A and B are shown apart, each in its own frame.
Chain A
Amino acid sequence: MTYIAKPKFHHPGLKKNELGYTHRDYEGKISTLCAGCGHDSITASIIEACYELSIEPHRVAKISGIGCSSKTPDYFLGNSHGFNSVHGRMPSVLTGANLANRDLIYLGVSGDGDSASIGFGQFAHSIRRGVNMTYIVENNGVYGLTKGQFSATADRGSKSKKGVTNTDNAIDLVAIALQLGATFVARSFSGDKSQLVPLIAAAIGHKGASFIDVISPCIAFNNHAGSTKSFDYVREHNDAVNRLDVLVGRDPIAVDYAPGTVQVVEQHDGSKIALRKIDADYDPHDRLGAQTFLQKHAAKGQIVTGLLYVDPDAEDLHTHLNTVETPLNTMEADTLCPGSAALDKFNASLR
């Protein structure tokens, strides 16, 4: 059950990161999801990425909507504030939180039902506003929590567990995020930790709207033959365009790949992404190219994964609104209130 906390005991020999934190410091409560659920692997990847980045756990605000996926913030970063809001509305809550305090790290976790159906609008608008966040959709193509209905990301022609064929077209959240101007767009697979962990780390370092669509099989309702979001199907159809490593600002870049196959992208916060190209022609700085590439591969039934687009010089909503550097939530009457003298003047102008 969710309220069972993990034992606090730390093995003295556990590896520590730069802040002296161990892996355990990034864990949360024990998961209540089905054993084998893809979402739990994503939880593990988030823990890993935060550990590797040496993030102070309490500096993260983790916000979600409603669904199995949206429950997961309870299972990582136990020392962070979490917010399980209402179905589909994580993006607005996160936007507000971000406006209140620009200094924290904002992690939005959502499901495909949450983001592609009831919350499709909020997903789109938070992306187009450039909210500085890492927005992860744990995409299983079904409504897990309400037991197996098709979601809007279920592929046309794919089958439900009961054998019903989906006749609606699918929404590809990655394509939409690209179209809406997300400045960091990636797709990955919950079963591919080596790809997912650095993607999450790079997204956290990105200043702007980062979106990661993670195919995350629902073993209870969407892991059968005929599903295009099952473990087997994704493994067979996965076509990675790149693999990456994230190097925090201070680290020297060790280029141990053949020239021409690695590309270093320096992000706003000083972190560097070393992209190992698998597809030699793929250019992650070309938004239009990414869109076409995706469509071509989707038509062939392939799932393109990797960092699909990044604009390392992105701006965020605070830049657009020209807000002060000081977090708004720390300001008091002395800085915010114009005072009685200004009010007297105002009154005088209304006579």
Chain B
Amino acid sequence: MSDKKPLSSVNDFVVRFANVNGSGSASANEMFARAILRHGVPVSPRNIFPSNIQGLPTWYEVRVTEDGHLGARGGVDMMVAMNPQTWDKDIAGIEPGGYLFYDSTKPMPSTKFRDDITVIGVPLTAITNSTYTDPRQRQLFKNIIYLGSLSALLDMDPKLIEQLIGEQYKGKEKLLSSNVHALHLGRDWALQNLKCPIGLRVKKTDKVGDRIFIEGNSAAALGAVYGGATVCAWYPITPSSSVAEAFTAHCKKYRHDPETGKAKYAIVQGEDELASIGIVIGASWNGARAFTATSGPGISLMTEFIGLSYFAEIPAVIMNIQRAGPSTGMPTRTQQCDIIACAYASHGDTKHVLLFPEDPAEAFEFAAAAFDLAERLQTTIFLMLDLDIGMNHRLCRPLKWDDAKQYDRGKVMTTEMLEEGRDFGRYLDVDGDGIPYRTYPGTHPTKGSYFTRGTSRDRYARYSEEGSVYADNMQRLVRKFETAQDLVPRPLQANAERPTKYGVIYFGSTSPAMDEAIGLLEARGHQLDRLRIRAFPFHSSVASFLAEHDFVYVVEQNRDAQLRQLIVNENGIDPVRLVPIVHYDGTPITARYIAKAIGDHQDHLKVTPLRKAVS
């Protein structure tokens, strides 16, 4: 008996799969998401996994969203409960009126269910055991069997799934046919024994368009390939390891000399993060484009070298795939919590360039651009991703490349220039933009060599601890950082339909949730202008945006409102006008969360309007 009418929705619901790590469910679950995409319906999937390898719970959530909302929604409409360990919590997470799909081979007492949900049992183990004898086969095909049952329940076209299986097992006929067989085992059982379809349905449409489905880390790694990175040094850490792994795979595909089969790249798994950034700095000093990928703990270790890169002015690219800190924090949970650590990394007065891509497409573009920026500015560039974009597939516009593009190698003095008699001072500001010329080692027999060091030196790279010489250098570094403002990606502004005194600033992976939240807020009667920050140093339009609004919400995924701190610090602004909206439990921020937090604050402002003081 159900207390609540079963949910009914076409192309707009959330399915969550609760599995046991190591059960081989990942590929079946991902196939489910891809199959929906093939129906022309956008999806936004998320891996939710603990920091362990075998046996513990994992979840995979697929938001089916005809409107194309790619942020997490929160709540579960259908739970595919395949993990007895998490059963109680999983059942509790289902929205009223939602559905529970489970393996009914062993009967469950009714107390294990809820009255306000629809329970759908399929004897998965029984079906599998009667078909397969091999234990591994039993485990793997069970996943395909539930995929088959779901396809019937959600009214999906089995041909589209067969097609996907065909692509996955191309050339492996035996695997292909056995997977298709398993799919139909599950599908036929559901069609014969259950009421199909249920209230949640997938209907073909054309809302996906030419968008691609890719993980941020893979896109960033490809950006490094396109951006001309030839040296990569890294040390394994979740959630960044897949950047280096993807870079390796992309290089194997694109970067081997066709004649000799030799590699036009070098990838070294360093012994730690110190070595990794050291290798990057050594390679960049010597004129190669080099990068490392890491996460918070790695950044902590790299800071001494980052200071060297800043002060000795050596290019470096660090991709920081953020996870929840501090310390080991929650290694497999997402946050945007390294803003301050990266912006001011290392001792002494330092400032670094940060790039904040919102999705894989921007991760690709910004990664490629990071190498130009690093060489142009001769400093460390941080590409700030997070687990939510890095390790999840996202629907995004196709990646684009302009074949006319040449790499910007920055100010490099060549043999010819030295021969012409050009004055070479390694730290000489010839153009007034704070950026000096450098030479690569080995350039000229008698001209242009210099000594690189983290110790103070004069404009001609001669060791000096003279106060005025040091200050002169530090001032030039400030000028250089100002130059950076106009070189980095600018913030993007979108205005509300009606003029408003309120604005919102956000960045990175918060983007899709923010876009959706704007709609929810408008429905509540709140109008907000929005500014998506894409880089630090902040462009002057950030200050203008702040000046134009009475209150600006700053939405971010960390406890201490780090971006807000940075804005306050760098713009000398009254902090009262910057309202922090923070989310930091390790799950991706949702539209519902943002809309509620901003909406409540706005309601409060409306109840007690700010009055001008009456004199």
Contact = CB atoms under 8 A, between A and B. Distances in A.
B228 interface: yes
Nearest to B215: A350
Given A323-B265, A332-B228, A96 B464 contact: no
A339 to B, nearest CB: 5
Contacts of B254: 338, 342
Nearest to B212: A350
B3 interface: no
A100 B231 contact: yes
Contact of A58 (B257, B398, B399, B444): B444
Contact of B283 (A78, A82, A99, A338): A99
B278 interface: yes
B558 interface: no
Contacts of A78: 449
Contact of B308 (A86, A103, A324): A86
Contacts of A344: 398
Contacts of A322: 261-263
Interface in A50-67: 56-59, 61, 63
Interface in B251-285: 254-255, 257, 260-268, 270-272, 274-285
A58 B288 contact: no
Nearest to A3: B462
Interface string B20-59: 0000000000000000010000000000000000000000
Interface stretch (B74-82, B450-458, B571-579): B450-458
Contacts of B450: 81-82
Contact of B214 (A57, A84, A328, A350): A350
Contact of B442 (A1, A58, A321): A58
B228 A96 contact: no
Contacts of A2: 462-463
B282 A95 contact: yes
Interface stretch (A121-129, A170-178, A215-223, A256-264): A121-129
B275 A125 contact: yes
Nearest to B271: A125
A327 B441 CA distance: 12
B305 A89 contact: yes
B226 A338 contact: yes
A84 B455 contact: yes
Q: From DSSP, what is the main secondary structure of chain B's interface residues? A: loop
Interface string A86-97: 100101111111
Interface string B300-331: 00001100100000000000000000000000
A84 B208 CA distance: 54
B11 interface: no
A100 B281 CA distance: 10
Contacts of A294: none
Contact of B264 (A81, A85, A324): A324
Contacts of B260: 324
A100 B212 CA distance: 34
Pick the most buried of B212, B226, B290, B442: most chain A CB atoms within 10 A of its CB: B442
Interface in B436-472: 439-446, 449-455, 458, 462-464
B445 A93 contact: no
A142 to B, nearest CB: 22
A111 to B, nearest CB: 16
B278 A59 contact: no
Given A58-B445, A82-B452, A338-B226, A328 B398 contact: no
Contact of B268 (A73, A85, A89, A99): A99
A333 to B, nearest CB: 5
Given A81-B449, A323-B262, A328-B231, A129 B442 contact: no
A101 interface: yes
A331 interface: yes
The 8 A-B pairs of least Cβ separation, nearest first, read: A96-B282, A92-B278, A100-B288, A81-B441, A329-B287, A96-B283, A96-B279, A100-B286
Interface of A: 1-3, 56-59, 61, 63, 73-74, 78-86, 89, 91-101, 103-104, 121-122, 124-125, 129, 317-318, 321-325, 328-333, 335-340, 342-344, 346-347, 350-351
Interface of B: 37, 208, 210-214, 222, 225-226, 228, 230-231, 233, 254-255, 257, 260-268, 270-272, 274-288, 290, 304-305, 308, 398-403, 405-407, 439-446, 449-455, 458, 462-464
15 contacts: A78-B449, A81-B441, A85-B278, A92-B275, A93-B281, A96-B278, A99-B283, A100-B284, A101-B442, A121-B275, A122-B275, A337-B226, A339-B401, A346-B222, A347-B398
Given A98-B282, A346-B222, 13 more contacts: A58-B449, A73-B451, A82-B449, A84-B451, A86-B304, A92-B278, A92-B282, A101-B288, A122-B275, A323-B265, A328-B231, A329-B440, A350-B212
